């Protein structure tokens, strides 16, 4: 006997939905849409967009390609200002899909740097959002670097783990600091998902975390679930083949913010049918 419990916060977050709606509208208007880097960290979504005509380029190809035969869309993670200027030169028009929560992070970082603070960020400098951030705040330091300077401003990647961010902030409050400003720039959508997965992992036999392997917020959900119970990280039903022994008892399902609801439902149906695709 198996019973499925879907999380309340599953499927796309509104920032991802917003950029996908933008791209679909442009395609509907007959535009040729170019995107540099993954629009979202989900191969299924990227495959669907490619099939609809979106042209994807590598993240670093913005400096290599010539004039584009259409418009460019900036993804939800944002892009460094110099890359945006380059896109403006080579495309017919640039549409900005940067999530407003990510834009707010860039704005705070810029303002703090302008006011003479050493900006320190709890985030992964290789992540596209942080790559874009570095374009706006050239002097930013990133964890695990020690936050030097008398006046420091501490920020987080929007998908960072809140408790680890707080630890980093505390460790940066050492002697010699005249002023420490801490900005909670973590997205509330990811915080709600974290809280929910923590509770689900404690009460259900297993929690399935659905999302792309490149998605940092999915990874974080999986790590939280694993620390509090039994967890599996899957991208689609194919990944469940070897796990049929887990199809019993109470199964919770959550997802990363770039996972479409249809994949979540497909996985729920697959488990309810004992491992058969409808």
d(CA 15, CA 78): 11
Q: What is the dihedral of CA 267, 271, 273, 278, to 10 degrees?
A: 20
Burial class (CB in 10 A: 0-12, 13-18, 19+), 89: exposed
Nearer to ligand SF4, 104 or 228 (CB): 104
User: Kind and range of the H or E element at 28?
Assistant: helix 14-28
Distances (CA, A) of 255 to 115, 162, 190, 209, 214: 39, 18, 10, 5, 13
Q: How far is the CB of 121 from ligand SF4 (least distance, A)?
A: 15
d(CA 5, CA 83): 43
Sheet with 55-57: strands ordered across: 55-57, 33-36, 71-74, 94-96
Q: How far is the CB of 248 from ligand SF4 (least distance, A)?
A: 32
Catalytic residue from among 31, 107, 129, 272: 129
Nearer to ligand SF4, 106 or 270 (CB): 106
Question: Which residues of this chain interact with ligand SF4, rule CB under 6 A?
Answer: 13-16, 76, 99, 101-102, 158, 187, 189-190, 257
Nearer to ligand SF4, 102 or 268 (CB): 102
Q: How far is the CB of 206 from ligand SF4 (least distance, A)?
A: 25
Position with the least CB separation from ligand SF4: 15
Nearer to ligand SF4, 68 or 130 (CB): 130
Q: How far is the CB of 70 from ligand SF4 (least distance, A)?
A: 24
Residue 244 has what DSSP assignment? G
Nearer to ligand SF4, 186 or 206 (CB): 186
Nearer to ligand SF4, 16 or 137 (CB): 16
**DSSP E strands, the chain:** 2-6, 33-36, 55-57, 71-74, 94-96, 118-122, 141-142, 151-156, 179-182, 206-210, 231-234, 249-255
CB atoms within 10 A of CB 151: 14
Q: How far is the CB of 31 from ligand SF4 (least distance, A)?
A: 22
CB contact set of 102 (below 8 Å; sequence gap of 6+): 15, 76, 77, 78, 129, 132, 158
Q: How far is the CB of 256 from ligand SF4 (least distance, A)?
A: 9
Q: Note if 129 is an active site residue.
A: yes
Distances (CA, A) of 189 to 96, 176, 186, 192: 21, 36, 9, 5
Give the residue numbers marked as catalytic: 129
């Amino acid at each position: 006997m198996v019973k499925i419990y879907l999380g309340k916060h599953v499927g796309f977050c509104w920032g991802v939905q917003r950029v996908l709606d933008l791209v679909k509208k442009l395609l509907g208007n007959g535009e040729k849409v170019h995107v540099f880097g993954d629009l979202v960290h989900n191969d299924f979504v990227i495959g669907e967009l490619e099939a609809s005509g979106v042209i994807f380029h590598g993240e670093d190809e913005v400096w290599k390609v010539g004039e584009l035969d259409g418009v460019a869309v900036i993804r939800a993670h944002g892009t460094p200002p110099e890359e945006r200027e380059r896109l403006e030169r080579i495309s017919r028009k640039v549409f900005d899909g940067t999530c407003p929560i990510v834009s707010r992070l860039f704005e705070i970082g810029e303002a703090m740097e302008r006011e003479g603070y050493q900006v320190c960020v709890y985030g992964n400098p290789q992540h596209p959002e942080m790559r874009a951030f570095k374009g706006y705040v050239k002097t930013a330091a990133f964890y695990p670097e020690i936050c030097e300077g008398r006046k420091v401003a501490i920020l987080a990647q929007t998908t960072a783990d809140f408790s680890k961010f707080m630890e980093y902030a505390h460790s940066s409050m050492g002697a010699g600091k005249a002023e420490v400003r801490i900005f909670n720039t973590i997205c509330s959508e990811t915080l709600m998902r974290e809280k929910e997965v923590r509770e689900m992992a404690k009460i259900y036999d297993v929690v399935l975390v659905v999302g792309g392997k490149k998605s940092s917020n999915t990874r974080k959900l999986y790590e939280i679930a694993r620390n509090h119970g039994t967890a599996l990280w899957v991208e689609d039903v194919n990944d469940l083949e070897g796990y049929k022994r887990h199809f019993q008892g109470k199964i919770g399902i959550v997802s990363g913010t770039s996972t479409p609801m249809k994949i979540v439902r497909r996985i729920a149906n697959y488990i309810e049918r004992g491992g058969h695709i409808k």
